[in-house]
Amino acid sequence: MPELPEVETVKSTLQERLPGLTICGVDLYLPKIIQTPSPEEFCRQVAGKTFLDVGRRGKYLLISLSRGLMLVVHLRMTGQLVYTVTDESRSKYTHLIFHLNNGHQLRFADMRQFGRFWLVPEADIQAVKGMKSLGVEPLGSEFTLNFLEKELKTRRTRLKPLLLDQTFIAGLGNIYVDEALHRAGLHPLRPANTLNPREVGALFRAIREVLEEGIAGRGTSVRDYVDGTGQAGTFQEKLRVYRRSGRPCIQCGKPIERLRIGGRSAYFCPGCQR
DNA sequence: AGTCAAACCTGGGCGC
DNA sequence: TGCGCCCAGGTTTGAC
């Protein structure tokens, strides 16, 4: 499910609600989702802490708690972190419930059970698996045309797997990579070091544009994704290639095709993307 | 360095 | 209805 725009939307919806609330109890139904510390320690340490701030790095949610603790959450494919106002009955996919001191709850549900939690001292955040090696934030100031040009020049790998590589750019996933490549007119199999300056520019702008529009649309809900209030996004209505095989390209009319690249689907237009 | 397959899980959709 | 197959927004690991 969640790529950068979805995690960003969860972040902002939770940021509007959690800060100032205190965790008065935890129900953990699926201990394996807790990566560190032990499930028992996790529940013990988190109890009594107050939510201070909700942030994001790549596809990780960074939730700072009182006493210098950081709760790190990765939603992976089907994870949902939802502030639940009513005392709804628990679905079989709800694996963790934080009880809040205003009578409401923060629930984590995940059909495929891939999502993970870490609780670490704020200073030790680099100890979270994958965090230290994360690449640049594509909407941040380190991601520049100059950076992209330089990096592409030194790599021979194909564009699709490269853009999915979180140690290169943090936050892109299958949907937004395919959409960005289509907007840039670039074939997913193009070797990175074969792009001319005009193409690098097009890719740079397409990446930023598609992520910004995704955030403006409050994320893409293909199936499971909902934000921190349980609401679906709208960007699925704007997709030009993702999961549209056989349907006409909105730019040239040719049917969208699907390729298998490195075990992932790649949707693209054979007319527009070279 | 790059490429691939498999693993972690559950469920939806399709053909027969 | 049921079976078997392929697919799924992510990431890690290990092999070549």
The CA angle A133-A138-A142, to the nearest 5 degrees, is 75
Here the tokens at position A208 are 């930023």
Domain A145-268 class in CATH: mainly alpha
pLDDT, tens only, A54-85: 999 999 999 999 999 999 999 999 999 999 98
Q: Is A3 a catalytic residue?
A: yes
Catalytic residue check, A59:
yes
Cβ of A218 < 7 Å from strand C?
Answer: no
Q: What are phi and psi of A241, to 5 degrees?
A: -130, -35
A211 CB and strand C closer than 7 A: no
Percentage of chain A modeled with pLDDT above 90: 96
As ranges, strand B nucleotides with an atom below 7 A of a protein CB are 1-11
Judge if the beta carbon of A264 is closer than 7 A to nucleic acid strand C.
yes
Q: For residue A225, which nucleotide's C1' is closest to its Cα?
A: C9
**CATH homologous superfamily, domain A4-127:** MutM-like, N-terminal (3.20.190.10)
Q: Evaluate if pTM is beyond 0.85.
A: yes
Distance, CA of A187 to CA of A263 (rounded, Å): 17
pLDDT digits (tens, 9 = 90+) for A215-263: 999 999 998 999 999 999 999 999 999 999 999 999 999 999 999 998 8
Catalytic hit among A49, A59, A183, A190: A59
A127 CA – B14 C1', rounded, Å: 44
pLDDT of A272 = 96
What pLDDT is attached to residue A85? 86
Q: Supply the pLDDT for residue A88.
A: 80
Asked if residues A104 and A84 have their Cβ atoms less than 8 Å apart, the reply is yes
pLDDT at A1 over 80: no
Tens-digit pLDDT profile for residues A112-157: 999 999 999 999 999 999 999 999 999 999 999 999 999 999 999 9
Q: Where are the domains of chain A?
A: 4-127, 145-268
DSSP A57: E
Gap from A226 CA to B9 C1', Å: 20
